[in-house]
A and B are shown apart, each in its own frame.
Chain A
Amino acid sequence: MTTMKKAVLASALAAASASAFADHCGFNEGRVNIVGNEFPAIQTVGAGAVACAHGSATVETNLTKDHQKINLAGMSGNPAEYTSAIVANSSIVALMNEDVIRPLNDLIAEYGQDIPKKQLVTIGGDVMAVAFMANAQHLVYRQDILEQAGLQPPSTYEEMLSGAEKIRQMGILEYPLGGAYKAGWNLAQEFTNMYIGHEGEFYKPGTAEVSVNNAKGVATLEMLKALSEYMNPDFLTHDSNLTSDEWTAGNVAMMNMWGSRTGNLLKPESSDPVVHTNTKVAGPMTVAGGAEPASTLWWDGWTVAKNVSDADAKATFLALKAATTEGVLNADNMGEAVWMIDGYQPEEVNEGVFAAIAAGTTPYPMLPYHGLLHTALGDNIADFLTGKESAEQTLSDIEAAYTAAAKEKGFL
């Protein structure tokens, strides 16, 4: 935590010094208020934006884990309380559905020609967000345990299963696998990964009609269940935090984990030396002979609210632009994320995410109705993993739950 505070401070100073050159980020009036999640990388961006406050301009942030519950309401009024929301490719959809964020094309033409093209997120030709970090789930493994068992790091889930069996047989670990399988959002994410790995299609082409109740869906569930047999019996209560705790306690040999979390696992103070010196990362695995990795790519980026004055929109745009340029990066916050900012120097720990990008992993689906399916998946898969019902029953429950929700929302 101390390091994080320092990092925020240092990045704020860096941003301040950078902005001194750029005439205080290029604005001295207007109101900026940013809502977003609270993990360290976003704190860095928030502090970078706050450092732009100058003249009559005000810059505020509200970075909280409840951001998704308040961002829509906070941007719906006119003028909107929040002039910007920091979102990911899953959460931008809710804001676009309600039409509360504006296309950035004109602002980019006027003030943002120097933003690298790769950072722009365009939908139907309109730039809707500017991304500043990437994330993906990929393999994390314990080199010492794999060597002891005579195994190579797995490149497919089938290898992971046979490796887990071998580690268990040799009596090294009773539960060699880990994963964020907490019922709800996390478990739905694991299904999404695995279903994409099986080359499954979530919807009937060109419609919002769901179609996961098929052989690929069954195979996906079977694979999740097979993996869970090698996990701590409490796996349905383990989110990313608890899974990381299992890892640092040395209880796990292999897991599919978020790239953004691996930095913490490698910190010397987080665990016994034998654990953190042997923690290695590799690209995401494939499944069932598929070519596409069973994982999804994610970005986090910033947006500008629709219902704000032109002056506020300009100030917001410039503040966040300044907060996501090379100026905010320094030795302390470099490892907080896989930054999509020029001047970012990746470390060894980030290779998992780069491998995921290089392997052509699918981005998480950015569809107006996919959030509803994600919720339906999260509510129902646990019933199969606990053995309460068959795979087909679970899949048909998922379809029915999604269909009812999509009808309510007007998608069907």
Chain B
Amino acid sequence: MSASIQDQKPLYLKVLINSFLVLWLLMAAFPFLWTAWGSFKVEADFFSKADWTNALTGVMTIAESGEYFTTDGYHGAWVQEEFWRAAMNTLIVVVATVCISLTFGTLGGYALARSAYRYAFWVLLIALVFRAMPPITLVSGYLLPFFELNMWGHLPTSIIVLVAINQPFTLWMLTSFFKNIPQELDESAMVDGCTRFQAFRRVIIPVMWPGVITTGLFSFLLAYNDFAVTAMLLNEENKTMVPKLAGFLGTTQTKGNVMFAVSSVVSITAPLFVLVMFFQRQIVSGLTAGAVKG
């Protein structure tokens, strides 16, 4: 389709669309590229109050480290402050959250998509209302019971909370995916003597992956970028990357620490690059297969 449309595009439209895209890409990528560049400078350059061009010329970087670029920010964050521990914690939290979210979500979403009763709509509606709750209130409500039950500070607690907070979105998205899988598929399996669960396992699971992968990516981003839950519910040693990074900024900013935060930003985003490049096909094809219908 795109090819056939492209053929007949008048020149003015091509120029217009392409310049719009270039402008957008600049807007989208510039802050991050600027950060990536600045992470190899010292604080006095990147956050210069005197002259922003210091970030380009690197006056203070040369004065302090003798080189045009410095990797002090990365060394400080990863080696001295043991950012890798936080990276490990993030890995655990993210993998667990995505797996559990999707398991719960596919079961629930499938049921919601196949139920002919009105209560299915009400379940979806209530899930949506649940999502309206501001996360700050939720988290501050957890504190007291979690401390009393001795659950505070541990990774599993944060994982299950993230799963719960993520359920409404997952359910909505997966329900619309499952609705696009023809009902005849699993019903014919059940006519052949399968139970509902067997039908789900043998017929639906093999065809549901595009939708699940797309939903999984959104769950992944939520868990990966979460600050509200992980900052308040995890203790020092279990902190994930985002709260750890926020800790570098601190109440009293000590010299150099701010650059640890900047280099951590780049470190956090780099794996996402790889991930998006790798999954970009699946995101799109997943959304296509399911078509997230309201």
Q: Which residues of A contact B (CB under 8 A)?
A: 1-2, 4-5, 37-40, 61-66, 69-70, 73-74, 76-77, 80-81, 240-241, 244-246, 248-251, 260-261, 264, 267, 269-270
Contact = CB atoms under 8 A, between A and B. Distances in A.
Contact of A76 (B80, B140, B147, B235): B147
Nearest to A1: B256
B135 interface: no
B140 A69 contact: yes
Interface stretch (B27-35, B45-53, B87-95, B123-131): B45-53
A9 B76 CA distance: 16
Contact of A241 (B48, B76, B252): B252
B2 interface: no
Contacts of B255: 1, 264, 267, 269-270
B247 A64 contact: yes
Contacts of A2: 76, 80, 256
Given A74-B147, A76-B147, A249-B50, A241 B236 contact: no
A70 B140 CA distance: 9
A77 B232 contact: no
Contacts of A61: 236
Interface string B257-285: 10010000000000000000000000000
Contacts of A240: 252
Interface string B212-247: 000000000000000000011001100000000001
Contacts of B252: 38-40, 240-241, 260-261, 264
Contact of A38 (B80, B143, B251): B251
A163 to B, nearest CB: 22
Given A66-B232, A251-B49, A77 B253 contact: no
Nearest to A272: B50
B67 interface: no
Nearest to B143: A73
Contacts of A39: 250-252
A85 to B, nearest CB: 13
Main secondary structure of the interface of A (DSSP, over half): helix
Question: Interface size bucket, B side?
Answer: 20 to 34
A258 B150 CA distance: 38
Contacts of A249: 48-50
Interface of B: 47-50, 64, 76, 80, 140, 143-144, 147-148, 150, 152, 231-232, 235-236, 247, 250-257, 260
Contacts of B251: 37-39, 65
B231 to A, nearest CB: 6
Contact of A62 (B143, B144, B236): B236
A142 to B, nearest CB: 15
A83 to B, nearest CB: 13
B147 A77 contact: yes
B231 A81 contact: no
Which of B49, B144, B254, B260: most chain A Cβ within 10 A? B49
Given A73-B143, A249-B49, A38 B260 contact: no
Nearest to A80: B147
Which of B232, B255, B257, B260: most chain A Cβ within 10 A? B255
B178 to A, nearest CB: 40
Contacts of B148: 76-77
Contacts of B231: 66
A248 B188 CA distance: 75
Contacts of A80: 147
Nearest to A81: B147
B237 to A, nearest CB: 9
Contacts of A264: 252, 254-255
Nearest to B144: A73
A64 B250 CA distance: 8
A81 B260 contact: no
Contact of B260 (A1, A77, A261): A1
Given A64-B236, A69-B140, 12 more contacts: A1-B256, A2-B256, A5-B80, A38-B247, A38-B252, A62-B235, A70-B143, A74-B143, A80-B147, A248-B49, A251-B49, A264-B254
5 contacts: A1-B260, A4-B254, A73-B147, A74-B143, A251-B49
Contacts of B80: 1-2, 5
Contact of B232 (A69, A261, A267): A69
A143 B47 CA distance: 25
A134 to B, nearest CB: 16
A269 B72 CA distance: 15
A245 B48 CA distance: 9
A240 B152 CA distance: 31
A10 to B, nearest CB: 16
A260 B253 CA distance: 12
Contacts of A245: 47, 49
A66 B250 CA distance: 10
Contact of A65 (B47, B48, B143, B247): B247
Contacts of A65: 247, 250-251
A136 B56 CA distance: 39
